[in-house]
Amino acid sequence: MVFKRRDRRPIIQALGELFYPRGGWGRAARYVQHRLRRLPGTPETIARGIWAGVFTTFTPFYSLHFLVAAVLARVLNGNLLAALLATFFGNPLTYLPIGVVSLKTGHFLLGTEFEAGETKTLGRKFADAGADLWHNFFAIFTDEVADWHGLTIFYDEVFYPYLIGGILPGIIAGTVAYYLSVPVIRAYQKRRSARFQKKIMQVRAMAEEQVARTQVEQAKKDTPKS
């Protein structure tokens, strides 16, 4: 195939780049920032897309962030690509503080407890929920009895508090991102438009100069020799 990678990356390298991309997170952040600035549309439209993407990172739908961001961008009449790019606000460096803030807020709003050491048991709750899913899937085809204990605990103590608690900090973070990005995008678009207009004027001046030179040369040719 023409577009197939010649050097297939090892699985370990591919997984590693999910947590630390090639060139580092700083380079990845600059790339996303560059792409956001060059998007077509008004600053407000692009910023609404950014709001949708940032807000989505505070939801527990980790494998569906692109879909959730796209739906929100559609509802808010925001830029779709901006929403997808803004979901990179959630990454392995930020997911832990986002998760802790969302869980604490959720438990506070629901009137339940969030122990200081609960973050140490989150992995266990995820593992138990995954084990229940795996067991219950095979239970459909065997005589095993479905077990929902781990999933119930995960829903009550992790997923639902995260879902409720992520709304408020998600709105705050998305709104801050919106109001920060609008003037930045507007200024960038003005500078880009000014550079574009300058290039047009330069090309036009060169064209006019070439036309004038051609006319002078033509006039010299048409002038009768004495």
DSSP code of residue 87: G
Q: Is residue 58 part of a domain?
A: yes
| Residue 28 located in a structural domain | yes
What pLDDT, on the 0 to 100 scale, is given for residue 77? 93
Kindly state the percentage of the chain with pLDDT values over 70: 73
15-60 pLDDT tens trace: 445 444 555 545 555 665 666 666 778 899 999 999 999 999 999 9
For residue 135, what pLDDT is reported? 78
For residue 77, tell me if it sits in a domain: yes
- What pLDDT shows up at residue 37? 60
Does a structural domain hold residue 176? yes
Instruction: For residue 78, name the pLDDT band (cuts at 50, 70, 90).
Output: very high
In a domain, 218, yes or no: no
pLDDT at 105 > cutoff 90: yes
Residues 59, 65: contact at Cβ < 8 Å? yes
Q: List alpha helices for the chain, DSSP H.
A: 11-19, 24-37, 43-56, 65-76, 80-86, 95-110, 122-139, 149-154, 160-165, 167-222
What range defines the domain where residue 23 resides?
A: 11-191
